[in-house]
Amino acid sequence: MRAGGGGVLGKLGKSSILVTDIANQFWCERQMEYNYLYGKKYTKYMAQGKQLHQELQQEVYVPLTIEPVTYGDFLYKTAYENYRSMRSLKEKGLCRELRVYGSLNGYRLSGQIDELKVVNDRTVVVERKTTDVDRKFTEAYTRPHIVQVMLYRKMLGDIREKKYTEENFAKIYEVGKTTLSDVFKRELNAMGLQGEMLDTGAMYRKMFGEMYTMPTLDDRLEVVYVDRFSGKQISSIQVEYKEDEMGERISNVMKYWNGERESAPVVEAEKWKCNFCKFFGKECKAWWGQRDLSAAGK
């Protein structure tokens, strides 16, 4: 399993690839890279989106409010919240904010699924995106979101079919070498958690056990667009998962992570995106000087 320290991951200061990294390559690969090299700006729209996700999560279960101190604490918190979330899927037919892990072409891959819901005894993957009410849902705009929800479906399928197991995870993330900090453990004790429920390895086994036995994954996926201010649904698109198509979509982007090519800017037909990029005309000069940029495809 490849990790950071060299190649593109080392250059970007990363140890794994995020699902959102790959999705963002389908918006603008150069922008995705520059966000790591020069710093991503945290906007009020991101804050609004984060708040909405937290509110939706709390409709299903209350996450741990204890702040992790060490890497071991962080691993435990993720496992515990994922376990609770997967229990909610079986008991209520719904779970939200599920952290998922896997591998892709030998690289660590991770992401956070917005929602899983059970419909007709099948598990449906749902991705939620906050946007403006007057948004035009063009192919160029929805393409990254479609890739994102398809990757989540692939990762869940790999886990459910045990192509990626708790043993894979424990080895890669060195779960057996971690311990909980004293302050974190005291807080868990105060919540009434004892014995096996304080063991990180046991918690991941419980988490993966729930994922192995989740209802059959549906090939119908959903991307839901909600108003960034009110949280009300604006539109949704249905996506059909096809593994062969998924492979074709990501084969070229993986050449970037393999170091086989440099990052690519947007194609000329989508250079209107540059109007909304903080790197345009500064770090990125791909379409600088082309003053006929149009936002028609926004």
Long-range contacts of 162-171 (CB under 8 A, 24+ apart): 162/212, 164/101, 164/102, 164/103, 165/208, 166/204, 166/205, 166/207, 166/208, 166/209, 168/103, 169/101, 169/204, 169/208, 170/201, 170/204
Residue 239 lies inside a defined structural domain of this protein: yes
Domain count, the chain: 1
pLDDT reported for residue 84: 92
Q: Which domain holds residue 83?
A: 42-250
The predicted pLDDT at position 90 comes to 94
What confidence score (pLDDT) does residue 230 get? 85
Helix, strand or coil for residue 157? helix
Tokens 């599920």 sit at which residue? 98
The verdict on residue 72 lying in a domain is: yes
The answer to whether residue 133 sits within a structural domain is yes
Tell me whether residue 240 is in a domain. yes
pLDDT at residue number 4:
55
- Please check whether residue 256 lies inside any domain of the structure: no
In a domain? residue 137: yes
284 part of a folded domain: no
Specify the pLDDT at position 161: 97
Task: Looking at the chain, list the stretches that DSSP marks H as alpha helix, in order from N- to C-terminal side.
Answer: 7-12, 19-38, 44-58, 71-92, 139-160, 166-172, 182-190, 200-212, 243-257
pLDDT of res. 246: 87
- Report pLDDT for 48: 59
208 within some domain? yes
pLDDT tens column, 156-205:
999 999 999 999 999 999 999 999 999 999 999 999 998 889 999 999 99
pLDDT lower than 50: segments of the chain = 296
DSSP label at residue 100: E
What is the pLDDT, as a whole number, of residue 184?
94
